[in-house]
Amino acid sequence: AQKITQTQPGMFVQEKEAVTLDCTYDTSDPSYGLFWYKQPSSGEMIFLIYQGSYDQQNATEGRYSLNFQKARKSANLVISASQLGDSAMYFCAMREIAGNNRKLIWGLGTSLAVNP
């Protein structure tokens, strides 16, 4: 069954340091996409970064990068040079192309606190 696992309920990081948020996934479909979203305390979900299963390179978007290890089925989010505004919930999600590819499968999230 499709599944996303985020094993870190909460994380702390010092401002200006890098932090890695873990995400592992389970799927039997060779074609899928992986997404990371940020949810600040205001509640809105904000898209951060996308990685396709056939992408040769790890995705990067500004201070966000994705450490994609296909054989291990992991897609960890790396935030470099953490800022106070990075304090939020972070969710990993997956979409498969087989079946109904309109739906996203979600992890339970990781709460990140950035300390000054």
Q: Residue 109 interacts with another protein (CB under 8 A)? A: yes
CB of 11 to another protein, least distance (A): 16
Q: Residue 90 interacts with another protein (CB under 8 A)? A: no
Q: Residue 91 interacts with another protein (CB under 8 A)? A: yes
CB of 89 to another protein, least distance (A): 10
Residues 3-62 that bind another protein (CB under 8 A): 31-33, 35, 37, 42-47, 50, 52
CB of 70 to another protein, least distance (A): 15
Inter-residue contact 74 to 23 (CB < 8 Å) = yes
Q: Which long-range contacts (CB under 8 A, 24 or more apart) does 39-47 make?
A: 39/88, 39/89, 39/90, 39/91, 39/109, 40/85, 40/87, 40/88, 40/89, 41/88, 45/91
Count, residues near another protein per rule CB under 8 A: 25
Count of all residues that appear for the chain in the document: 116
